[in-house]
Amino acid sequence: MAVILVTGSSTGIGYAAAETLGRNGHTVYASMRNPQRSPALQQLADKENLPITVITMDVTDEQSVNNAIGLILSKEPQIDVLVNNAGIASWGAVEELPLDLYRADMETNYFGAIRCIQKVLPAMRRRNAGCIINVTSIAGRIYSNFQSTYCSSKAALEAFSESLAQEVVPFGIRIALVEPEVIETPIFSKSNEVPAGTSYPNQRRLFAFFAAALEYHNPPSLVGEVINNIVNGNSQSFRNPAGPMAAGLLGWRASLPDEEWIASNAVDEETWIAGMAQMGLDVRKHMMPDRPMRF
């Protein structure tokens, strides 16, 4: 069994990953910024005697990362697996988004992962073993309008991971990506609200798409199982789509010429709604003009 550090474990995918890995017998250190505000995971572990320990770690703070990893290594001989899951998301038109939101998404989703990786790599390299799993998104390969902050951060992590994988493979270290589709997690409710006076009314389509996709209620446990399969060696793939539609959506986008993908965002509303219906998404009911553009 492995000693595993999971970041961003207070809710959603991180919580599900920690729970799934713990139920499969791994020793899990589930990190989050404010454990006192999110006691549910530790309460579950205590109640069911799962090998999960909740610890404090903010991936945007180097000293916090150092302290957390030092705490783990004071109790364990090594960290076998790092699961970089901590993530945030912002929405909006490039023209209207403050740069601070771009910095925030990159600081957590990209630099946060690198910060953790740099702390665990030396020991993994010295013992010629280890696994690093970076949770990205299908948005790291399907770039959507009004998601420029999130898509950019996830695409950056995808590119970084592929470069890293080539660097560390001679040392027996495995890098794997997990690419979830739309998963029902609190990341949506935590995002920013688009200003009512936006000059880009097509943003309503993005919110309608996600609202319709969330009606499928894809649970975070789907992603937790994919992560567990990687840890247990049941998947040897570098890229691992997660969710029933993830692989299909990635394949569909890859089959489209870039120019066609870009031009598709200029179609009229009825054409767009019909296209979404072909994908099994009922977006029309979410397109009311008085609906706030937030989740």
Domain span including residue 235: 3-187+218-243
**Within a domain: residue 115?**
yes
Dist. CA 140–CA 239, nearest whole Å: 11
DSSP, res 192: P
Least confidently predicted of 34-43, 214-223, 246-255, 280-289: 280-289
**Within a domain: residue 276?**
no
Q: Kindly report the CATH number assigned to the domain that includes residue 134.
A: 3.40.50.720
Model confidence band, residue 60 (pLDDT cutoffs 50, 70, 90): very high
Mean of the per-residue pLDDT values for the chain? Answer: 96
Percent of the chain scoring above 90 in pLDDT: 93
Q: Are strands 173-180 and 52-56 parallel, antiparallel or unpaired?
A: unpaired
Residue 194 is predicted with a pLDDT of 79
Q: Rounded to whole angstroms, what are the CA distances from 51 to 2, 55, 80, 227?
A: 11, 13, 15, 17
Query: Region 38-58: what's the mean pLDDT?
Result: 98
Dist. CA 293–CA 193, nearest whole Å: 6
**pTM for the model:** 0.96
User: Which residue in the list 15, 29, 110, 150 is annotated as catalytic?
Assistant: 150
pLDDT per position as a tens digit, 62-72: 999 999 999 99
pLDDT per position as a tens digit, 97-135: 999 999 999 999 999 999 999 999 999 999 999 999 999
Least confidently predicted of 3-12, 105-114, 200-209: 200-209
- Give the number of domains in the chain: 1
Catalytic status, residue 150: yes
**Within a domain: residue 259?**
no
> Where do the DSSP E strands lie in the chain?
3-6, 27-32, 52-56, 81-84, 130-135, 173-180, 239-242
**Within a domain: residue 134?**
yes
Q: Which residue has tokens 């029309």? A: 284
**Within a domain: residue 177?**
yes
pLDDT at 294 over 70: no
| 62-71 contacts at long range (C-beta below 8 A, 24 or more positions apart) | 62/115, 65/115, 65/116, 65/119, 66/119, 68/5, 68/29, 68/31, 69/5, 69/116, 69/119, 69/120
The answer to whether the CB of 97 falls within 8 A of the CB of 44 is no
**Within a domain: residue 200?**
no
Residue 199 is predicted with a pLDDT of 94
Size of the chain, expressed as the number of residues it contains: 295
Dist. CA 231–CA 113, nearest whole Å: 18
**Within a domain: residue 272?**
no
